[in-house]
Amino acid sequence: MNIGEVAQQSGLPAKTIRYYEDIGLISPQRSENGYRAFRERDLHKLAFIGRARALGFTIEDCRTLLALYQNDHRESGQVKALAEQHLVAIDDKIAQLRSMRATLSHLVHCCAGDHRPDCPILDDLAGSDLHRGDA
Amino acid sequence: MNIGEVAQQSGLPAKTIRYYEDIGLISPQRSENGYRAFRERDLHKLAFIGRARALGFTIEDCRTLLALYQNDHRESGQVKALAEQHLVAIDDKIAQLRSMRATLSHLVHCCAGDHRPDCPILDDLAGSDLHRGDA
DNA sequence: ATGGAGGTTCCAGTAACGGGAAGGTCAAGG
DNA sequence: CCTTGACCTTCCCGTTACTGGAACCTCCAT
């Protein structure tokens, strides 16, 4: 298989596949013409990576997960630990975004959004304490 | 004020403040010795940027917001539009993270996490369809 | 005079690719 | 046989918002 077909089947852009080879995630063979010659195993690996990436794992996590996957003597505890760690990181991000969202949403609702220049959003960013001290 | 004091008062690292000058967000004067000489206005601007960044606005958004803030003829609708757009982006990110979280959390709960190699997480990443087809 | 805490510039690296140039290869068509 | 177009190759730069570090300068206190 050439890279184009692998790209289609894995859903990953050809550029990304080449990048994954660059950083040593995959090592496809080469044809005599210099083209990458992918086998089923490579495709399978790429699909694996694609799914891990879709779950938000970093490339380094993917490297680790691939190694565990290919290691018959792995312990599922290692995988679970990695996944739980990632879960915590996701929760942290969600919490941070929700905090931002709450503040921003409040400000948006306070802003008339008309043709006048008065704007509680800018007031808040400027630290004017006008609405924060309105109690 | 030298950069150290401004860093403390604004809560931004000195490196970041220099970077903000590099990209033209601020333009502090210079003392004869070559040191940056910050005035109150600069500090105020930096605090403004810091707060906008804390709400997740990009640097380019900050540039726009600063310009609006300094423009007496702005219309609050412009600010509100920018904020609402950002709010949508935040919501998108939260939705994506929650989707990841749901899948990952399910997989983690399915995994024994012991010393055996069998691992539903890896099975899922490998696309084995074992648990997805268990209905 | 000297030591240390500040300041300065510039360069490189981060994560994970994407865009685009310059050029080789292959299959089909005239 | 030649060309055209699709596909492949490598290589280098750009992205976001900084961070770390080197090499060097300046100020203040002892």
Give how far B35 is from chain A: nearest CA, Å.
Answer: 26
Nearest of A129, A110, A106, A128 to residue A119 by alpha carbon: A110
- pLDDT, greater one: A131 or A124: A124
Give a yes or no: residue B49 inside a domain: yes
B107 and chain A in contact, CB less than 8 A: yes
- pLDDT, greater one: A39 or A128: A39
- Total of domains in chain A: 1
Give A59-62's long-range contacts (Cβ < 8 A, gap of 24+): A59/A23, A59/A25, A61/A86, A62/A25
- pLDDT, greater one: A131 or A61: A61
Give a yes or no: residue A98 inside a domain: no
The mean pLDDT value for A88-108 works out to: 97
Whole-number pLDDT of residue B132: 58
Give the mutation candidate from A121, A123, A124, A131 for the B interface (greatest B CB count, under 10 A): A121
Q: Would you tell me the crossing angle of helices A76-110 and B76-110 to the nearest 10 degrees?
A: 160
**Does the structure show a pLDDT above 90 at A94?**
yes
Distances (CA, A) of A99 to A53, A88, A106, A107, A127: 25, 16, 11, 13, 18
Whole-number pLDDT of residue B135: 40
Give a yes or no: residue B20 inside a domain: yes
**Does the structure show a pLDDT above 90 at A93?**
yes
What pLDDT tens digit does each residue of chain B (135 aa) get? 999 999 999 999 999 999 999 999 999 999 999 999 999 999 999 999 999 999 999 999 999 999 999 999 999 999 999 999 999 999 999 999 999 999 999 999 999 999 999 999 999 999 877 655 444
Containing H/E element for B37? strand B36-37
A98 and chain B in contact, CB less than 8 A: yes
B33 touches strand D (CB under 7 A): yes
| Structural domain span for residue A21 | 3-74
Give a yes or no: residue A112 inside a domain: no
Whole-number pLDDT of residue A88: 96
Whole-number pLDDT of residue A128: 76
Q: How many CA atoms lie within 13 A of B59 on its CB side?
A: 10
Distances (CA, A) of A105 to A8, A73, A131, B83, B131: 40, 50, 14, 8, 40
A17-30, pLDDT tens digit by residue? 999 999 999 999 99
- pLDDT, greater one: B130 or A34: A34
The confidence band for A105, taking pLDDT boundaries of 50, 70 and 90, is: very high
Give a yes or no: residue A53 inside a domain: yes
**Does the structure show a pLDDT above 50 at A134?**
no
Give a yes or no: residue A22 inside a domain: yes
> Which amino acid appears at position B29 of this protein?
Q
Distances (CA, A) of A13 to A6, A8, A47, A52: 9, 8, 12, 16
Give how far B34 is from chain A: nearest CA, Å.
Answer: 29
Whole-number pLDDT of residue B129: 73
B19 touches strand D (CB under 7 A): yes
Give a yes or no: residue B32 inside a domain: yes
Integer Cα distance of B124 and B107 in angstroms: 8
Indicate the length of chain B as a whole number: 135
Classify residue B34 by its DSSP letter: S
B11 touches strand D (CB under 7 A): no
CATH number at residue A32: 1.10.1660.10
Neighbours of B6 (CB within 10 A): 22
Give a yes or no: residue B27 inside a domain: yes
